[in-house]
Amino acid sequence: MTVQEKPLQNFNISTFQNDLLDWYYANKRDLPWRNDQDPYKVWVSEIMLQQTKVDTVIPYFNNFIEKFPTVYDLAVADEQAVLKAWEGLGYYSRARNLQTAVREVVENYGGQVPDDPNQLEGLKGIGSYTKGAILSIAFNKPEPAVDGNVMRVFSRVLNIDEDIALPKTKKLFESVTREIISQEDPSSFNQAIMDLGATICTPKSPSCLLCPVQEHCEAFTLGVEEQLPIKSKAKKNKKIPYVVLLLKDKTGKIAIEKRPEDGLLANLWQFPMVPLQEVTIDLLENWFYAQYGLRIRLGQKLGDLKHVFSHLTWNLEIVEAKLFEESSEENCLIFVDKEKELKDYPFPVSHQKMMQYL
Ligand code: SF4
């Protein structure tokens, strides 16, 4: 049954709010971005929390705020330093967009994170969820902040069987939240739903017996909580094979290159990657000369790694190689000392893992 067929008037909004908020006030998680309501910190935390678990985010958040404590510090920071602070968190466009948006806040809004929905949504990297999270958590405005966790909780509480992978379903949950959200304490309300989804109403085996809103939950009453939410399968994940070269020059320095300015992992550094969709391994040395102007000799294979992104997977074969003919021509590789210099560059996780083979 959908919420359109069964409107919210049968749902006791005020007792739901009270039960949820009483539980939250007594049990809220102690998280570093909850120490104050600084909108910049709320913003940084919400960007980091996209696609990433709370426990992973905490040390990154503390380090990031120590390095860039205000919008002004982040606005003037070197992009490579920002990427270094983000190294290992993944989805690096989040960091670049955050810095772009923070610069806009400094230039256009006098360094104050705006509390106007349209101005906030106009900033790079801020979608409807982050906008709602900043407005509610930092500015205490009754705005919905709906992500997958929130849709899971409300799918179950209200027994809504709409496909949460569809944009129109997100809109539906935003309008539901707008009606249910506490007007007195919207900041705590949204954080309470987030905490409930993270700790009690989990994707698998929700802890219904401990749940503070169990008596409001239709899925629990009907025994269908494990069947909700409905989510259609994402598109097939494409697999792309590469050889990654751990290429050393005569002095033992190791070759790295910067990724392009746009697209996946933009501006991060990596060991040279050879796409096996373009060349077979027996012709790889020639391909490398054509691409980089450097003569190399392949050595032995050192291992395999797989790295899964949301839309594609890299299958990485790690092979050692030696440079045997220097070139005076310009190329995009640089050779760095593996003990001293390598750690100064931001690398994606897959390439960080390869450093064990050096
Ligand atoms: Fe989720 Fe169970 Fe609570 Fe319903 S009763 S909100 S399914 S934990």
Predicted confidence (pLDDT) per residue in 184-227, tens digit:
999 999 999 999 999 999 999 999 999 999 999 999 999 999 99
Phi–psi pair at 336, nearest 5 degrees: -125, 155
CB-based contact 140:186 (threshold 8 Å): yes
How far apart are alpha carbons 194 and 197 in whole angstroms?
Answer: 5
Closest CA to 186 of 130, 223, 132: 132
CB-based contact 302:357 (threshold 8 Å): yes
Res 2 pLDDT > 50 = no
Res 103 pLDDT > 70 = yes
How many Å separate Cα 325 from the centre of its chain? Answer: 42
Integer CA distances (angstroms), 198 to 14, 54, 91, 122, 252, in order: 23, 9, 21, 29, 47
Distance from residue 199's CA to the centre of ligand 1 (Å): 11
Superfamily name and number for 13-227: Hypothetical protein; domain 2 (1.10.340.30)
The label of the residue with tokens 């810095």 reads 99
- pTM > 0.85: yes or no: no
Instruction: Give percent of the chain with pLDDT exceeding 70.
Output: 96
- The response to whether residue 192 sits with its C-beta less than 6 Å from ligand 1 reads no
Res 345 pLDDT > 70 = yes
Parse the chain into domains and list their residue ranges: 13-227, 238-357
Mean pLDDT of the region 123-131: 95
3-state secondary structure of 18: helix
3-state secondary structure of 157: helix
pLDDT of residue 79: 94
For residue 206, which atom of ligand 1 is closest to its CA? 8
Question: In the annotation, is 339 catalytic?
Answer: no
Residues 6+ apart with CB under 8 A from 166: 232
pLDDT of residue 328: 60
How far apart are alpha carbons 43 and 48 in whole angstroms?
Answer: 9
pLDDT of residue 175: 94
> For atom 7 of ligand 1, which residue has the closest CA?
225
pLDDT of residue 7: 52
The label of the residue with tokens 């006791």 reads 12
Mean pLDDT of the region 16-38: 95
Distance from residue 35's CA to the centre of ligand 1 (Å): 28
pLDDT of residue 293: 86
How far apart are alpha carbons 46 and 269 in whole angstroms?
Answer: 26
Res 144 pLDDT > 90 = yes
How far apart are alpha carbons 149 and 313 in whole angstroms?
Answer: 25
> For atom 2 of ligand 1, which residue has the closest CA?
208
Closest CA to 244 of 284, 283, 291: 284
Domains 13-227 and 238-357 fall in the same CATH topology: no
Closest CA to 250 of 304, 299, 318, 321: 321
Res 331 pLDDT > 80 = no
CB-based contact 47:98 (threshold 8 Å): yes
Residues 6+ apart with CB under 8 A from 195: 24, 27, 28, 29
- The response to whether residue 319 sits with its C-beta less than 6 Å from ligand 1 reads no
Distance from residue 161's CA to the centre of ligand 1 (Å): 15
Superfamily name and number for 238-357: Nucleoside Triphosphate Pyrophosphohydrolase (3.90.79.10)
Res 95 pLDDT > 80 = yes
Calculated CA dihedral for residues 171, 174, 178, 184, nearest 10 degrees: -160
Res 275 pLDDT > 50 = yes
What six digits make up the tokens of 217? 């939950």
